[in-house]
């Protein structure tokens, strides 16, 4: 009997689940084993703040596919199975069955490392107190939700004003809790230019969120449970703290296997998601990507990227020749009533790379001004002053920003100039856009910079 080729995937959320599913679908003869150290696989992490806010009644709704569904497709899913060691030379893994309290050896022919990222925990006193949380996994979201039910906080502090921090500030406000956001940078959402981030700051404050900028946390205090957050400027009462200061790639196993690290300490990969070690691929939040607008290797962990990289890795293991061509750095979120979106480079990022840039920022309407519900939409474009190539864009508005950014992302991918953008044939209907769409107005204004 001919032994089947075996693919083992480490990590079962976005990239890992995509890799396993694509590999098995492409080559049904492939033996596919998916190992996940947690109890859940294939879930929508970006929906967790909405679940905590109460907008989504059950965490089960965030699960895209269960282990049983994968099993019906021929994928052997093993939850609560943690890989503790990789022997790349002999293509073997040491696996701990956490539920069965036993270890076993598992061989592989190909390995996809999709171990994701882990929340950064600064070395500050008091972060181990009860009531201090991070939000990375579905288990984290369940723990926070349970804490809100069993111990209604009298005060919440969110440390960090990035995507997760601000989404969670809004989620806590949905429970009518007093919320303070502490950020050591001089602005919220440092991945926006300052004048655009100011619009987000105004939205937060309009919903009663206390925002402290240029404020550094030095410790948390409490006897058994957190009672206050201490900054360089004072003390903030809080019996629930969310730590949201960023993530780092979880690459311990990759390093142990001899995988070279690249941008941001993530696994270095080629466009086929192969590492430098034969038979080992990496994908998702533990892997780097190419930023299309510059060609630089970057570490920008996003669910969209993870799913695409996992799919490419799985396809190639199964015998296809697929490539992941990189990212535009496109991301969107909604903070209270504001859609916030960006792609490419901000002005600050472009200048830091030594580029000479022109920018424009305009305010328009998201639909015809006379149409009911028309609201403000702010657009900023960044172009190369010499080539006039579109380098980046940012949009903020009550509606329309999150999907309009895709047009700019496509233009960046195609290496278009701002002058090309002015000729785009946009759709028009008064209920969704004006005759001159806000992004076209911004392109026209920027196009005059000649």
User: In which region does residue 164 sit, left (phi positive, over 0), alpha (psi from -120 to 50) or beta (all else)?
Assistant: alpha
Cα(310)–Cα(288) distance, integer angstroms: 12
The per-residue DSSP string of 274-311 comes to: B-SSTTEEE-STTB-EEBTTT--EE----HHHHHHHHH
Cα dihedral 192, 179, 242, 59, rounded to 10, equals -90
Q: Which residues of 299-326 are buried (b: 16+ CB within 10 A; e: fewer)?
A: bbbbbebbbbbbbbbbbbbbeeebebeb
> Quick check: helix, strand or coil at residue 41?
coil
Neighbours of 205 (CB within 10 A): 11
Edge to edge, the sheet with strand 390-397 lists 331-335, 338-344, 390-397, 376-384, 357-365
Burial-class residue 282 by CB neighbours within 10 Å (0-12, 13-18, 19+): buried
Cα(315)–Cα(20) distance, integer angstroms: 9
Burial-class residue 352 by CB neighbours within 10 Å (0-12, 13-18, 19+): exposed
- Within 47-113, residue ranges assigned H as helices are 48-53, 67-72
The answer to whether the CB of 256 falls within 8 A of the CB of 85 is yes
Catalytic residues: 46
Task: At 308, list the tokens.
Answer: 């695409």
Cα dihedral 135, 337, 149, 154, rounded to 10, equals 90
């Amino acid at each position: 009997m001919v032994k089947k080729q075996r693919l083992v995937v480490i990590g079962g959320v976005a990239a890992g689940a995509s890799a396993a599913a694509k590999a098995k679908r492409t080559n049904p003869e492939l033996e596919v084993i998916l190992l996940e150290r947690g109890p859940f696989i294939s879930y929508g992490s970006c929906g967790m703040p909405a679940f905590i806010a109460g907008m989504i009644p059950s965490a089960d709704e965030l699960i895209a596919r269960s282990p049983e569904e994968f099993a019906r497709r021929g994928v052997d899913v093993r939850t609560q199975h943690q890989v503790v060691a990789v022997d790349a030379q002999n293509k073997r893994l040491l696996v701990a069955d956490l539920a069965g309290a036993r270890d076993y050896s598992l061989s592989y022919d190909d390995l996809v490392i999709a171990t994701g990222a882990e929340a950064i925990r600064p070395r500050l006193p008091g972060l181990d107190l009860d009531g201090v949380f991070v939000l990375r996994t579905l288990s984290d979201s369940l723990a926070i939700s349970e804490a809100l039910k069993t111990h209604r906080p009298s005060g919440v502090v969110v440390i960090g004003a990035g995507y997760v921090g601000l989404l969670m500030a809004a989620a806590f406000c949905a429970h009518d809790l007093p919320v303070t956001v502490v950020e050591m940078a001089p602005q919220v959402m440092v991945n926006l230019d300052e004048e655009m981030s100011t619009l987000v700051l105004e939205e937060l404050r309009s919903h009663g969120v206390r925002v402290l900028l240029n404020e550094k946390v030095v410790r948390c205090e409490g006897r058994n449970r957190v009672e206050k957050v201490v900054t360089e400027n004072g003390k903030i009462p809080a019996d629930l703290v969310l730590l949201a200061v960023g993530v780092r790639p979880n690459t311990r196993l990759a390093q142990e296997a001899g995988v070279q690290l690249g941008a941001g300490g993530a696994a270095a990969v080629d466009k086929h998601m192969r590492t430098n070690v034969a038979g080992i691929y990496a994908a998702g939040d533990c892997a780097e990507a190419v930023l299309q607008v510059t060609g630089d290797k970057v570490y920008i962990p996003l669910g969209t990227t993870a799913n695409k990289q996992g799919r490419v890795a799985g396809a190639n293991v199964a015998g296809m020749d697929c490539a992941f061509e990189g990212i535009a750095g496109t991301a969107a979120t909604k903070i209270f009533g504001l859609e916030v979106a960006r792609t490419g480079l901000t002005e600050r990022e472009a200048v830091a790379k030594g580029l000479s840039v022109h920018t424009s920022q305009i305010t328009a309407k998201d639909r015809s001004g006379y149409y009911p519900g028309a609201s403000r939409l702010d657009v900023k474009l960044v172009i190369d002053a010499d080539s006039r190539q579109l380098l980046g864009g940012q949009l903020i508005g009550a509606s329309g920003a999150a999907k309009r950014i895709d047009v700019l992302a496509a233009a960046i991918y195609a290496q278009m100039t701002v002058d090309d953008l002015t000729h785009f044939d946009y759709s028009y209907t008064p209920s969704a856009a004006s005759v001159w769409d806000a992004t076209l107005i911004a392109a026209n204004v920027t196009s005059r910079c000649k």
